[in-house]
Amino acid sequence: MYLLNLKTEKIKNKIVQQVIIVSESGVSTEKDIEYLKQMRVNAVLVGEHFMKSENLVESIKQFLDWCNYEN
């Protein structure tokens, strides 16, 4: 997780604001999402997390909850 997201952070700092930032791979926990939120990443690409899930519906609901921003 951290190595991939650190790469996202390093690259993000060199990109102009008009570009949508997508962090790809290594995203599977609430801690990962919180870290990416702090970096103001716009989107994440998730696959393996859901493929390994025993209850896909609950896993998706949980992931969406993690991704929500509190106003």
DSSP string, 2-71: HHHHHHHHHHHTTS-TTSPPEEES---SHHHHHHHHHTT--EEE--HHHHT-SSHHHHHHHHHHHHPPP-
Predicted pLDDT at 4: 55
How close are the terminal C-alpha atoms of the chain, in Å? 27
pLDDT value, residue 5: 63
* 3-27 per-position pLDDT tens digit: 556 677 777 777 777 788 888 877 8
- Residue 60 scores a pLDDT above 70: yes
**Sign of the dihedral through C-alpha 65, 67, 70, 71:** negative
